[in-house]
Structure 1
Amino acid sequence: MGIQEVKLLCFWVSPYSKRVEWALKLKGIDYEYIEEDVFNKSHLLLELNPITKKVPVLVHDQKTIAESFVIIEYIDETWNNQYQLLPQQPYQRAIARFLANLVEEQVMRPAFIAMCATGEEREKAMNIIREAMYRIEEEINGKKFFGGENIGYLDIALGWISYFIPIWEEVGSLEIIDPFKYPATYTWMNNFVNNPIIKDTLPQREKLIDYFHNMKNEYSA
Structure 2
Amino acid sequence: MAKEGSSVKLYGMWASPYVLRVKIALKIKGIEYEYIEEDLANKSELLLQYNPVYKKVPVVVHNGLPIAESSIILEYIDETWTDPPYLLPKDPYQRAKDRFLATYLQQISETLGKTLMSEGKATDDLLQEYWKSLDVAEELMKDIFSNGSPSFQDSKPGYLDIVIYSFFWASDVMEEIFGLESLTAERYPTLFSWTKALSEVSEFQDVTPSKPQLLQLLYAMRQK
The answer, yes or no, to whether TM exceeds 0.5 is yes
Residue in structure 2 matched with residue 175 of structure 1 by the alignment? 181
Residue in structure 1 matched with residue 141 of structure 2 by the alignment? 140
- Separation in 1 of the partners of 2:161 and 2:134? 14
Identity percentage of aligned residues: 38
Residue in structure 2 matched with residue 111 of structure 1 by the alignment? 112
Q: What is the letter of the counterpart of residue 86 of structure 2?
A: Q
Residue in structure 2 matched with residue 150 of structure 1 by the alignment? 156
1:80-107 Cα distance to aligned partner (Å, 9 max, x none): 112101111211111111111111112x
Maintained 8 Å contact 1:3/1:30? no
- Separation in 2 of the partners of 1:200 and 1:149? 17
- Which runs of 5 or more structure 2 residues have no equivalent in the other structure? none
Match of 1:66 among 56, 65, 68: 68
Residue in structure 1 matched with residue 206 of structure 2 by the alignment? 200
Match of 2:96 among 75, 94, 97: 94
Residue in structure 2 matched with residue 211 of structure 1 by the alignment? 217
Report the aligned-residue RMSD. 2.1
The alignment's TM-score, normalised by the length of structure 1, stands at 0.89
Is 1:165 aligned to 2:171, yes or no? yes
Q: What is the letter of the counterpart of residue 192 of structure 1?
A: L
Residue in structure 2 matched with residue 49 of structure 1 by the alignment? 51
1:16-36 Cα distance to aligned partner (Å, 9 max, x none): 111011100000111111111
Q: What is the letter of the counterpart of residue 36 of structure 2?
A: I
Q: What is the letter of the counterpart of residue 130 of structure 2?
A: I
The alignment's TM-score, normalised by the length of structure 2, stands at 0.87
Maintained 8 Å contact 2:28/2:156? no
1:166-190 Cα distance to aligned partner (Å, 9 max, x none): 2111111121122111111111111
- Which runs of 5 or more structure 1 residues have no equivalent in the other structure? none
Residue in structure 2 matched with residue 126 of structure 1 by the alignment? 127
Give how far 1:57 is off: 0.5
